[in-house]
Structure 1
Amino acid sequence: MTGFSRESESFKWGTLSVEISSINHRYLDVSIRLPRELSFCEPSINDQVRSSLRRGKVRLSVDVTWPSDLLAVTVNSDILKNYYYQIQKIQEDLHISDPINIVSLLHLPGVTDSPSNRQDMEKEVEQALEDIVRKAVSSLQVMREKEGAHLEEDINTHLSSFHGFLNNIQNRWINARDEAMVETRERIKKILEENGPDLDEGRIAQEIALMADKWDISEELTRAESHIKKFQSILKSSESEGRKMDFLIQEMNREINTIGSKVTDSDIRWLVVEAKTALERIREQVQNVE
């Protein structure tokens, strides 16, 4: 489900801001953007988000504003001198007289370090960031729950439509079944009249049984009804069961497809199309449910 949240808090060592958003996705896809100096926090933040959310494409970004006394980096003079003397010696060996730009040496590994004060407070910063992320995720969940209520209402509407189409199919099938049985009897009677005693009655009985099984949809209707009841119980549950609902939609779709392949009655076939449309609308919404 979609949602957005932003939390910000100031401390004596700076200000932390966290933005988190989510859009619909079948699985949980988490992307975290942190300032380089807070990259050490990524594993704990990732675990925190994944333990709270189960579905959605989640994007979390963190910004930090440091006070001026924590922005200045420290220069390791011993390492800088070592670089300088090494380069000077190489220039002498190669007879190069160009002056050495000491500023250009500041980018070499080990010459500059993050402010020592900032390194000392890593634990404090990490704990503060986890607390703000927790608040942001909680606010995001509130927004997602509001959307979830609208989703539930919409899903229930389409589920009721599907149930209605299923009842209409069952009512129509009772009449169609009787009509098909009358037609079958008439055909058998005609065959018997034309072939007389030479016809194998056992084979006829076997063929009748096969025909009855082919167009009998009572089992499919019963299973579809059972899937609807299970789906309704999951909707009322407080647990996140999006994947179970997705599975049940697939099973209901399987039953309605089988019904469509078994019957030849045009009215029932049209009801099957309508029922599949209702299921597709439910399936689209279920993709958004945790």
Structure 2
Amino acid sequence: MIQSMTGYGKSVLQLPSKKISIEIKSLNSKNLDLNTRMPSVYREKELSIRKLIASQLERGKIDFSLYMEITGEETSSQINKTVVKEYIKQLKDVVDGDETELLKMAVRLPDAVTTERDEIDEDEWASIAAAINESIEKIQKYRKDEGKALETDFEDRVQNIGKLLEAVIEMDPERIEGVRARLEKGIADIKEKVDENRFEQELVYYIEKFDITEEKVRLQNHLDYFLKALKSPDSNGKKLGFIGQEMGREINTIGSKSNYAPMQKLVVQMKDELEKIKEQLLNVL
């Protein structure tokens, strides 16, 4: 089953003294392009988070964000009382002023407030890791749902190309007969006697140059292979892209060999359907 590279997953975790919000966004990209944003206290876990996301989401432009909001009384910042008192004492030697105003000035000076680096609580991190996995599951579900819509669109467009190919096959004898008639008319207009055997040989050679039997067979095989690849257990957008390229090659050859306006119109319609397939393939994982 194919998956889209577009997706979104969010989880919110309420801890005793903080609220953790986790968001994962994904867009299409040729390779894995992963950006992470999180508070410094959790930075030591960044490598393991990256490995987890890379193993689960595989490819795409992915933004991972972990937000922390303190909801309790917990704080890592402390006033350095000794330093603040010394600042106030020095300020009094410089200027007379209200104690409150001097305090406002003192706490803005260097080292007046110290910040202790929190250590990660492993039980707390276990809850956060579970929330991260929940976000990943949500974005995977989003991708699969988008993939179902893409699969339906691909099937419709491949079937449209198949119907146009059937019309080409039905039209081909008429096209060949038209080529033969134009050649015979051209010879008749010259009003010269020609060797009938030689003319027939040249006619066969000329018609063979415009024969599209192999292209019709190969294109049908590529259409069948594309539909089969859509149903594979793994999503492989690159493989589908390669099959799409082969489909385009056969369609282009049919167009260049057709030399017949009604058939070329069908080829243009096939190209239009294929271009829409290629555009959507950019979103497939």
The corresponding residue for 2:278 is 283
Per-residue CA shift, 1:203-247, capped at 9, x if unaligned?
9957853x3343111111111111111101111122111111111
Q: CA 1:196–1:170 in 2, change beyond 3 Å: closer, same or farther?
A: closer
The corresponding residue for 2:21 is 17
Question: Are the counterparts in 2 of residues 26 and 288 from structure 1 also a CA contact under 8 Å?
Answer: no
The within-5 A match list for 1:10-49 is 10-12=14-16, 14-49=18-53
The corresponding residue for 1:180 is 179
Amino-acid identity (%): 29
Per-residue CA shift, 1:72-126, capped at 9, x if unaligned?
3357899x89xx9xxx9xxxxxxxx979x86455469xx84424xx3152x4454
Q: Confirm whether residue 194 of structure 1 aligns to residue 162 of structure 2.
A: no
Tell me by how many angstroms 1:39 deviates.
2.3
Tell me by how many angstroms 1:69 deviates.
5.1
The within-5 A match list for 1:191-230 is 194=192, 205=201, 209=205, 211-230=206-225
Question: Are the counterparts in 1 of residues 210 and 258 from structure 2 also a CA contact under 8 Å?
Answer: yes
Tell me by how many angstroms 1:20 deviates.
1.8
Per-residue CA shift, 1:41-97, capped at 9, x if unaligned?
22222221121113433222111134555423357899x89xx9xxx9xxxxxxxx9
Unaligned runs of 5+ in 2: 96-104
Q: CA 1:174–1:98 in 2, change beyond 3 Å: closer, same or farther?
A: farther
The corresponding residue for 1:150 is 149
Q: What amino acid does structure 2 have at the position aligned with 1:60?
A: F
Question: Are the counterparts in 2 of residues 3 and 23 from structure 1 also a CA contact under 8 Å?
Answer: yes
Q: Helix, strand or coil for the counterpart of 2:119?
A: helix
Q: Helix, strand or coil for the counterpart of 1:71?
A: coil
Query: Which stretch of structure 1 is more off in the superposition, 29-38 or 270-279?
Result: 29-38
Unaligned runs of 5+ in 1: 89-96
**Paired residue total:** 266
The corresponding residue for 2:101 is none
Q: Helix, strand or coil for the counterpart of 2:67?
A: strand
**Following the alignment from structure 1 to structure 2, what is the Cα–Cα distance between the partners of residues 213 and 28?**
48
Q: Helix, strand or coil for the counterpart of 2:192?
A: helix
**Following the alignment from structure 1 to structure 2, what is the Cα–Cα distance between the partners of residues 55 and 216?**
42
The corresponding residue for 2:75 is 71
Question: Are the counterparts in 1 of residues 160 and 273 from structure 2 also a CA contact under 8 Å?
Answer: yes
Q: CA 1:43–1:75 in 2, change beyond 3 Å: closer, same or farther?
A: farther
Q: What amino acid does structure 2 have at the position aligned with 1:194?
A: E
Q: What amino acid does structure 2 have at the position aligned with 1:169?
A: V
**Following the alignment from structure 2 to structure 1, what is the Cα–Cα distance between the partners of residues 94 and 162?**
86
Per-residue CA shift, 1:244-273, capped at 9, x if unaligned?
111111111111111111121000000001
Q: Helix, strand or coil for the counterpart of 2:26?
A: strand
Q: Confirm whether residue 259 of structure 1 aligns to residue 254 of structure 2.
A: yes
Normalised to the residue count of structure 1, the TM-score between the two structures is: 0.76
Q: CA 1:248–1:145 in 2, change beyond 3 Å: closer, same or farther?
A: same
Question: Are the counterparts in 1 of residues 78 and 114 from structure 2 also a CA contact under 8 Å?
Answer: yes
Question: Are the counterparts in 1 of residues 219 and 250 from structure 2 also a CA contact under 8 Å?
Answer: yes
Structure number with higher relative contact order (C-alpha < 8 Å, ≥ 6 residues apart): 2
Question: Are the counterparts in 2 of residues 176 and 265 from structure 1 also a CA contact under 8 Å?
Answer: yes
RMSD: 3.5
**Following the alignment from structure 2 to structure 1, what is the Cα–Cα distance between the partners of residues 40 and 74?**
15
Normalised to the residue count of structure 2, the TM-score between the two structures is: 0.77
The corresponding residue for 2:61 is 57
**Following the alignment from structure 2 to structure 1, what is the Cα–Cα distance between the partners of residues 138 and 225?**
31
